[in-house]
Amino acid sequence: MAKISIVVLADTKTHGDLGRIANALTTAQECKQAGDEVELLFDGAGVKWVAELSAGGHKLEPAFRSIEDRVAGACAFCAQAFGVRAAVESSGIPLLDEYKQHPSLRRRVADGYEIITF
């Protein structure tokens, strides 16, 4: 069983960004189905996806809901910086502030997680 931390950094602005979140969600689904220990993190501009996917009506919402139990959280600092803190809080997804108000990728590596970024 693999230990995988998928980190979404992609913004919400371009078609390419949409492709990256779609690939992140698909990879999370594959890992979950395989029984891997997988988590999804939103960091940087990627925190904006929490608001997009949890608001309802987005075409990727079903994929997001299928792995929502594997979402570890969103960067607390970036949620504030990108103006989506309230949306993240109302979604129920935790704000992560493990190291200087950011998720700790170093801790995850030390715990044996492979980091995949989108």
- For residues 103 and 43, the answer to whether their CB atoms sit within 8 Å is yes
Residue type for position 89 = E
pLDDT tens for each residue of 49-99: 999 999 889 999 999 999 999 999 999 999 999 999 999 999 999 999 999
Helix (H) or strand (E) holding 62: helix 61-67
Residue type for position 23 = N
Domain ranges of the chain: 3-117
What CATH number does the domain located at 3-117 have?
A: 3.40.1260.10
pLDDT tens for each residue of 1-50: 899 999 999 999 999 999 999 999 999 999 999 999 999 999 999 999 99
Give the pLDDT confidence score for residue 45 in this predicted structure. Answer: 98
